[in-house]
Amino acid sequence: VLRNAVHVEEAEMEKCVRDVMKEKKIKQEDTGFKTNLHISLLQISGYKKLYLNVENLRKVPYDSDNEEHEEQLIELWNLLMPHENLKARITKQWCDIGFQGDDPKTDFRGMGLLGLVNLVYFSKHYTDEARQILSHSNHPKLGYSYAIVGINLTEMAYSLLKNGALKSHLYNMVSGLPQMEHFHQFYCYLVYEFDKFWFEEEPESIMHFNQYREKFHEKIKGLLLDCDVILTLQN
């Protein structure tokens, strides 16, 4: 009964809780237990669903013929560079926000649409912070490629979700079904904290990026081991 309980749809959850209590001979009048079990089962099944939703978004390749994809890309530019117009869709200007070449679509290969959606979410909900971090990324000595690092941090958030490391964080944050919004919020935390970490560490050059990324990854994994952890940016 319990094994099946973590796969039950939300509409069936109440019946499922009653079945578990019956099986374990727990009185149905025990509302405290009933409520806690209901929340826990929603969180567990919700985590699995969230991973599938994130994975599905990651599997969608960026398509420059897709109007919605293109609109999101242009929105990213407008949010980060409000005083500068794009001269063309394919232009070296994309390097100004940290893409590698003159067409950003090639940089989304690894993380698909998820990488873009994360970048847009951060820029939209934390616009001041995003512009500030973009400004930091242009530092003459400690600079880094803003968009490329952002996509790299999407991969970090994705892998932590996939291997179950985000369970305590999400269970503490949401007393019910974790949503895509909560994944995006965690991503925002990573971007903000990585920028701080990078400047505190003062790497000799961007060539050492992988070494410092791994050090940051280990730091986050350590924080996530705390069963009371909640890692979010306060808006």
Residue 188: inside a domain? yes
Domain boundary, last residue among 41, 59, 77: 59
Q: How confident is the model at residue 234 (pLDDT cuts 50, 70, 90)?
A: low
Q: Which residue has better confidence, 23 or 106?
A: 106
Q: How confident is the model at residue 19 (pLDDT cuts 50, 70, 90)?
A: confident
Residue 233: inside a domain? no
The reply to whether 47 and 161 lie within a common domain is no
Round to whole Å and give the CA distance between 124 and 140: 26
Instruction: Please write the tens of the pLDDT for every residue from 190-213.
Output: 999 999 999 999 998 888 999 999
What range does the domain containing 159 cover? 63-225
Residue 230: inside a domain? no
The reply to whether 91 and 139 lie within a common domain is yes
Round to whole Å and give the CA distance between 184 and 87: 30
Instruction: Please write the tens of the pLDDT for every residue from 168-195.
Output: 999 999 888 899 999 999 999 999 999 9
Q: Which residue has better confidence, 122 or 39?
A: 122
Instruction: Please write the tens of the pLDDT for every residue from 117-175.
Output: 999 999 999 999 999 999 999 998 999 999 999 999 999 999 999 999 999 999 999 88
The reply to whether 80 and 100 lie within a common domain is yes
Total number of domains constituting the chain: 2
Round to whole Å and give the CA distance between 126 and 187: 12
Asked if residue 235 has pLDDT above 60, the reply is no
What is the pLDDT, as a whole number, of residue 163? Answer: 95
The reply to whether 70 and 10 lie within a common domain is no
